[in-house]
Amino acid sequence: MTNQSEQYRCGWAALVGRPNIGKSTLLNNMIGQKVSIISRRPQTTRHRILGVLTREDYQLVLVDTPGIHKSESSYLNRVFNRAASSSLETVDVNLMLIDARGWHEDDKKVLRLIKQSQSKTLLLINKIDLLKDKTRLLPLIQQSSEQHDFDEIIPVSAQSGLGIDSVLTTISNYLPQGPAGFPKDMVTDRTFRFMAAELVREQIFQQLGEELPYTSAVQVEEFEQTEKLDRISVLIWVDRDSHKPIFVGKKGERLKKIGTRARQQMEQCFGKKVYLQLWVKVKEGWAESDLSLRTLGYLEE
């Protein structure tokens, strides 16, 4: 046991990249279950979310960060960028994701932050399953190596899982020696209350699509747990009166569909029946208010 303890490794890695690059999908695939919500809309992830992967010889704590915006025109964007960039300062390894179809202008902002970090950095070229002409990978790898002296460059598919075992093996070699920091059966630091809000937000993304106003948020007002049933009341914040009908829909059908799908996901996640109530409330200027952002958990101490 002594030798095993001395050889055990434990460390942190941050998933960073521009919005909608596949960080949450990669996190879920690495952990082996849903920890972070996903959608095709940029900026789905708004919080730093921990995923914990425990293996026989190492424990890896993964941090899913909000997508880094080139534009900081809104206060909310600046908050998300600050949350993402601060994660780079406290991890052992950075995992920067780019698209297999090539470098994007927004990737360069992420790279500037990476260059300021002292941590090891792996570049993950994601979505290689969408690349019909695989010969394009070699020039992209060469171009990427000229952008920065990455410790490793690994092609992956967050969606299919291709290349993920290679990524995990590589990361484990960079982790410092030390005991596990979390229980071996723990997969995330987030509570059921937090997950309930995220699952509602995921359904909002899926049901509203391009109609979704950027300045909307979700807050759990009540969460009552019993052995067989969870009673959950969720408030959806919008910035304008004109946004409320978008969420409610004709005769309340859209809100009902969001609630039904979110409840089904919660029951699967929590392993019990869920009674869910949704409300939509107008609160002008919430996205520019420190108090509101702190209440919603976007501003962390």
At 163 the pLDDT is: 95
At 142 the pLDDT is: 96
At 139 the pLDDT is: 94
What is the rounded distance in angstroms from the CA atom of residue 243 to the CA atom of residue 230?
29
pLDDT grade for 69, boundaries at 50, 70 and 90: very low
Who wins on pLDDT, 289 or 18?
Answer: 18
Of the candidates 37, 59, 41, 50, the one whose C-alpha atom is nearest the C-alpha of residue 87 is 50
195's enclosing H/E stretch is helix 192-208
Q: Which of 47-61, 86-100, 204-218 has the lowest mean pLDDT?
A: 204-218
Whether residue 295 is predicted with pLDDT greater than 80 in this model: the reply is no
At 38 the pLDDT is: 52
251 CB-side CA count, 13 A: 0
The proportion of the chain whose per-residue pLDDT surpasses 70, expressed as a percent, equals: 79
Q: Which of 68-82, 159-173, 191-205 has the lowest mean pLDDT?
A: 68-82
To the nearest 10°, report the CA torsion of 280, 198, 126, 53.
Answer: 180
What is the rounded distance in angstroms from the CA atom of residue 40 to the CA atom of residue 21?
9
At 289 the pLDDT is: 55
What is the rounded distance in angstroms from the CA atom of residue 289 to the CA atom of residue 1?
52
What mean pLDDT do residues 112-119 have?
A: 86
What is the rounded distance in angstroms from the CA atom of residue 63 to the CA atom of residue 12?
7
Q: Evaluate whether 88 touches 94 at the Cβ level (below 8 Å).
A: yes
201's enclosing H/E stretch is helix 192-208
What mean pLDDT do residues 115-124 have?
A: 90
At 173 the pLDDT is: 94
pLDDT digits (tens, 9 = 90+) for 187-241: 887 788 888 888 898 888 888 877 766 667 888 889 999 988 999 999 888 888 8
Whether residue 94 is predicted with pLDDT greater than 70 in this model: the reply is yes
Q: Provide CB contacts within 8 A for 253, sequence distance 6+.
A: none
At 242 the pLDDT is: 86
DSSP 242: G
Task: Lay out the sheet containing 216-225: strands in order across.
Answer: 216-225, 229-238, 273-282
Domains and CATH numbers, the chain: 2-174 (3.40.50.300), 192-295 (3.30.300.20)
Of the candidates 132, 145, 137, the one whose C-alpha atom is nearest the C-alpha of residue 102 is 137
**Residue 294 phi/psi, 5° resolution?**
-70, -40
Helix (H, G, I), strand (E, B) or coil at 22: coil
Residue found under tokens 């009908």: 245
Q: Evaluate whether 231 touches 273 at the Cβ level (below 8 Å).
A: no
Residue found under tokens 């990978």: 137
Who wins on pLDDT, 69 or 221?
Answer: 221
Whether residue 93 is predicted with pLDDT greater than 60 in this model: the reply is yes
**Residue 51 phi/psi, 5° resolution?**
-120, 135
CA distances, 219 to each of 30, 206, 242, 293 (Å) = 28, 18, 20, 11
At 95 the pLDDT is: 95
Whether residue 46 is predicted with pLDDT greater than 90 in this model: the reply is no
Distance of CA 89 to the CA centre of its chain: 18
**What's the pTM?**
0.67
